[in-house]
Structure 1
Amino acid sequence: MAIVNVTPDSFSDGGERFDPARAIDDGLRFVAEGADILDVGGESTRPGSVAVSPDEERRRVLPVVDALARQGAIVSLDTRRASVAEAGLAAGARIVNDVSALRDDAAMLPLIARAGAAVVLMHRRGRPEDRYAGSPYENVVEDVRRFLLDRAATCVGAGVDRRSIALDPGLGFGKKVDEELALIKGAGRLADAGYPVLIGSSRKSFIGRLTGVEAAADRDPASAFLAVEAVRHGASIVRVHNVPATRQALAVFEAMR
């Protein structure tokens, strides 16, 4: 899953693809480089970020979703708002990737069920404006697993096809370095419930804390390594900024395995 942020303020690539034409060109390039899914987002979720209006979010993402879908790309829309998701699905998106696991907008769950869309449910503690503060985890893998399975059960109960649900433990989002690593190692524990697991560790700040590399864009070597580790431990989907580096690393991993 390649990241296509149409934002001015995302933590790594904010502003790079704020021009829809650039976002569309880059998305098509990511597909040519080996991306299976393009994850288009119009609102930054970095700690301390400020929410944008639904109108502004739609203005940012819809031209990109429409153009990429028309070119045959599988598009995921990274949004937590039902009005944006509904417009995006109408424009050709097939997946809704919701960082709130469908909790921020009460209209999101019935929309997903009605539309028959695929959905990624992500674990998130707190909100960006409070820098994802929250109470400590007792056991981060089990706590996150319990939350995500509860949300998945709620979705199934509301009529969402079980086969259309993927789970994301939400690396970053207020978690500590040891918790991030535990969640990557624990991907199999999450996957054993029968849902595909998505891991999004690409360029995250915990890589900077582990390596001393301050610039997010310079963290691709470690990001490719962590993508391999995620797959080795049971993830089905890795959400990345650098598609060729990740594809190379995964190809060598598959050959070694």
Structure 2
Amino acid sequence: MSTLRSHRQVTGLPTWDRCAVMGVVNVTPDSFSDGGRWFDTTAAVKHGLDLVAQGADLIDVGGESTRPGATRVDADEELRRVIPVVRGLASEGVTVSVDTMRASVAERALAAGAALVNDVSGGLSDPAMVPVVAEAGAPFVVMHWRGLLEGGNIPGTYDDVVSEVVSELHARVEAVIGGGVAPDRIVVDPGLGFSKDTEHDLALLAHLDRLHALGYPLLVAASRKRFLGQVLAGPDGAPPPARERDAATAAISAIAAHQGAWAVRVHEVRATADAVRVARAVEGAR
């Protein structure tokens, strides 16, 4: 129990006695999951507040799609999308995470009230990111990442996906700490779906204990992803649309929570909020 609890504390963020629920607000016109629905600032802030009302503990605001094939937006456009939403949610007392690969966006978002930087590149995309996070003393999500190419993800080739992801994450975390980010402010994320096929994602979920062995709180971001679509595919092989993968997402949330994840990142909050609370109740009955 003490080990699980230690995995659930990140300096600079609230402490929850269970796996936290990170709700997603995509301020983008081309998200794979909810493209364009929350593109307007007012709608995005309202959606974030709705997710909190449904049980989200923190809200992850992103202005750039990282779906396979997405074209990068320029920094000014990302700032225009993200900063008013971060400011609006933070002003309502929401714990806000900013989902960005750009140091300039992270810096402005932290100044606007964000409490956490969630960089899918783990600081690799922008050399200024780690210094900005270190200077701000902000918590930082380090995701396993092998790069993005416009037109699709860099393919993932692994001999042993679990060992390689753990090793590469370890090396990246060491570099981030070397850049000045405090170890007690680091969260790791296996990067499900990023340069990974269905078999890779499932193997990582089956071995979350190996990721825990790194010694850092763990964020699991499986929500509506391609591998769930493939698991749920019908006899014709056709996956259900992204928004029909929420029950499967909640199942992953229960599994991740039971295995001691610090947080799960999801688009549809209510079912996952229930799932993590049930997992906590079962854990407490041991």
Counterpart AA for 1:179: H
**Is residue 2:135 matched to residue 1:109?**
no
**Is residue 2:82 matched to residue 1:61?**
yes
Corresponding position of 1:237: 263
Corresponding position of 1:222: 248
Q: CA deviation at 1:173?
A: 1.5
Corresponding position of 2:194: 173
Q: CA deviation at 1:202?
A: 0.7
Q: Distance in 2 between matches of 1:133 and 1:192?
A: 27
Native 8 Å contact 1:7 1:15 kept in 2: yes
Higher RCO (Cα < 8 Å, 6 or more apart): 2
SS at match of 1:174: coil
Native 8 Å contact 2:187 2:218 kept in 1: yes
Corresponding position of 1:248: 274
**Is residue 2:177 matched to residue 1:156?**
yes
1:55-134 counterparts in 2 under 5 A? 55-134=76-155
SS at match of 2:187: strand
Deviation per residue, 1:27-51 (Å, 9 max, x gap) = 1111121111100000000000000
Q: Distance in 2 between matches of 1:207 and 1:151?
A: 27
Corresponding position of 1:191: 212
Q: Distance in 1 between matches of 2:105 and 2:229?
A: 32
**Is residue 2:71 matched to residue 1:50?**
yes
Counterpart AA for 2:251: F
Structure 1 range deviating more: 226-235 or 130-139? 130-139
Which runs of at least 4 in structure 1 moved beyond 6 Å after TM superposition? Answer: none
Q: CA deviation at 1:233?
A: 2.6
SS at match of 2:140: strand
Native 8 Å contact 1:76 1:93 kept in 2: yes
SS at match of 1:239: strand
Native 8 Å contact 1:97 1:119 kept in 2: yes
Instruction: Select the residue among 3, 9, 13 that pairs with 2:34.
Output: 13
Q: Distance in 2 between matches of 1:22 and 1:129?
A: 28
Q: Distance in 1 between matches of 2:23 and 2:118?
A: 13
Native 8 Å contact 2:120 2:142 kept in 1: yes
Counterpart AA for 1:229: I
SS at match of 1:206: helix
Corresponding position of 2:10: none
Q: CA deviation at 1:135?
A: 5.1
SS at match of 2:153: coil
Aligned length: 257
SS at match of 1:23: helix
Q: CA deviation at 1:255?
A: 2.7
As a proportion of its length, which structure holds more helix?
A: 1
Q: CA deviation at 1:139?
A: 1.0
Where structure 1 has 5 or more consecutive residues not aligned to the other structure, the ranges are none
Q: Distance in 2 between matches of 1:18 and 1:106?
A: 28
SS at match of 1:154: helix
Native 8 Å contact 1:42 1:78 kept in 2: yes
Q: Distance in 2 between matches of 1:40 and 1:49?
A: 17
Where structure 2 has 5 or more consecutive residues not aligned to the other structure, the ranges are 1-21, 234-238
Structure 1 range deviating more: 88-97 or 244-253? 244-253
Counterpart AA for 1:91: A
Q: Distance in 1 between matches of 2:81 and 2:144?
A: 25
TM-score (norm 1): 0.97
Deviation per residue, 1:56-83 (Å, 9 max, x gap) = 0000001000010111111100000011
Deviation per residue, 1:196-249 (Å, 9 max, x gap) = 010100100111111124210011111100111112233211000111110112
Counterpart AA for 1:94: A
